[in-house]
């Protein structure tokens, strides 16, 4: 559905986006994950036709965005990072305005606005001025304004910045509903838990480059980050560690009175506990270390996602 090939963009001497390529299939939720300044928004701006790339190509449903920007604009909806609404208009008037830019017949547009307001749970507040809305409610209207022309693809550029956990969950539910309705989602964020929850496939960006992409499992494989358990003991000797290694045949590393054992937690945890008992090791605490994107990002880039 979307084919991005060797896309690059520089501002003066800064390579904001540096030769990135990826493909997004219909119905996917594709995450662009990276820290601030990684080049996510620049990528979205180029894919949404408002910023010319220096090099590379973007095809949306087979349409070159440079050759057919208007066809592409009809296919996509963009939810910008900023709350781009008119504060002194009501929610309904805002949506009427943004919808009318796509020349949607008035009757159809009115119907669509009500449908979307219902979806985002703000139908009762439709006649209130945007400036009276909470941050989370504004974010939802910000999403609604990108849906009026029934886009097949929705770009969401950090749509949860500055919202409370409850509103964030509401936004996730909306995105999941939209995806279930068949809309392909491209989601940029620097919150890994959002990508973990929402995205089928992920591209990790750093300093304008895509350093890895794929499903979370593929990324895990690519990064060599393994699941592990961290077990704290009252005391531990070298002999006990050797015994444990012989019993389990797993990679074990020591950190003072803690052992970190790389394993398949679901499969190996009971064996590990039995082996500890057999070696007379008294367990004080067990922490399961699942593989997450934070760990993968750290492994791939050597820095924290929020650095």
- Whole-angstrom distance, CA of residue 76 vs CA of residue 47: 9
Does residue 47 contact residue 2 with C-beta atoms inside 8 Å? Answer: yes
Q: How far apart are CA 42 and CA 9, in angstroms?
A: 8
Which stretches does DSSP call E strand in 28-151?
29-33, 55-60, 63-64, 76-79
Q: Which is nearer to another protein, 82 or 127 (CB)?
A: 82
Part of the chain binding another protein (CB under 8 A), chosen from 45-53, 183-191, 197-205, 209-217 = 45-53
Using rule CB under 8 A, residue 185 touches another protein:
no
> Which one, of 226, 256, 232, 259, lies nearest residue 244 by Cα?
259
Which three-class secondary structure state does DSSP give residue 254?
Answer: strand
| Residue (81 or 240) nearer to another protein, CB | 81
Secondary element (H or E) of residue 248: helix 238-248
Give the three-state DSSP class for 106. helix
Paired tokens of 117: 């307001």
* Count of residues near another protein by CB under 8 A: 25
Is residue 162 a contact residue for another protein (CB under 8 A)?
no
- 14 touches another protein (CB under 8 A): no
Asked if 226 contacts 300 with a C-beta cutoff of 8 angstroms, the reply is no
82 vs 124 by CB, closer to another protein: 82
- Report which of 144, 66, 54, 199 is spatially closest to residue 133, judged by C-alpha positions: 144
- 106 forms part of the interface with another protein (CB under 8 A): no
Task: Compute the least distance from the CB of residue 87 to another protein, in Å.
Answer: 8
In DSSP terms, which residues pair with 187 in a beta bridge?
A: 31, 156
The answer to the question of residue 178 lying near another protein (CB under 8 A) is no
In the complex with another protein, the residue whose CB is nearer, 11 or 121, is 11
The residue within the footprint of another protein, chosen from 84, 207, 221, 247 (CB under 8 A), is 84
Single out the segment in contact with another protein by CB under 8 A; choices: 60-68, 79-87, 115-123, 243-251: 79-87
Q: Per CB under 8 A, does 85 bind another protein?
A: yes
Question: Cβ(244)–Cβ(252) under 8 Å?
Answer: yes
* Given 23, 63, 68, 74, the residue binding another protein (CB under 8 A): 74
Asked if 78 is part of the footprint of another protein (rule: CB under 8 A), the reply reads yes
In the list 15, 27, 51, 265, the residue contacting another protein (rule: CB under 8 A) is: 51
Structure-block tokens of residue 249 = 């045949």
Minimum CB distance to another protein, residue 206 (Å): 21
Q: How far is the CB of 146 from another protein (least distance, A)?
A: 8
- Joined tokens for residue 226: 């393994």
> Does 233 interact with another protein (rule: CB under 8 A)?
no
Binding site for another protein (CB under 8 A): 11, 45, 48-51, 70, 73-74, 76-78, 80-86, 98, 101-103, 145-146
């Amino acid at each position: 559905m979307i084919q991005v090939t060797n896309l690059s963009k520089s501002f003066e001497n800064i390579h904001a986006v540096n030769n990135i390529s990826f493909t997004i299939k219909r119905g996917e939720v594709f995450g662009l994950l990276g820290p601030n300044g990684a080049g996510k928004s620049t990528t979205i701006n180029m894919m949404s036709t408002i910023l010319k790339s220096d090099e590379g190509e973007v095809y949306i449903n087979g349409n070159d965005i440079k050759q057919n920007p208007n066809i592409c604009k009809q296919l996509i909806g963009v939810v910008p990072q900023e709350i781009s609404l008119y504060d002194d208009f009501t929610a309904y008037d805002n949506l009427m305005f943004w919808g009318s830019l796509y020349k949607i017949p008035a009757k159809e547009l009115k119907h669509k606005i009500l449908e979307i307001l219902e979806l985002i749970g703000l139908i009762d507040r439709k006649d209130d001025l945007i400036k009276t809305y909470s941050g989370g409610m504004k974010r939802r209207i910000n999403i609604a304004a990108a849906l009026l022309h029934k886009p097949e693809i929705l770009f969401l550029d950090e749509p949860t910045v500055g919202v409370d956990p409850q509103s964030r969950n509401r936004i996730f539910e909306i995105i999941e509903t939209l995806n279930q309705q068949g809309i392909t989602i491209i989601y940029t964020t620097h919150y890994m838990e959002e990508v973990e929850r929402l995205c089928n496939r992920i591209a990790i960006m750093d300093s304008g480059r895509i350093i890895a992409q794929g499903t979370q499992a593929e990324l895990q494989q690519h990064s060599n980050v393994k699941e592990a358990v961290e077990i704290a003991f009252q005391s531990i000797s070298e002999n006990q560690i050797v015994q444990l290694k012989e019993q389990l045949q797993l990679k074990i590393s020591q950190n003072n009175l803690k052992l970190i054992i790389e394993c398949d937690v679901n499969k190996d945890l009971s064996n590990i506990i039995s082996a500890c008992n057999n070696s007379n090791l008294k367990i004080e605490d067990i922490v399961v270390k699942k593989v997450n994107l934070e760990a993968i990002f750290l492994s791939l880039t050597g820095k924290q996602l929020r650095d």
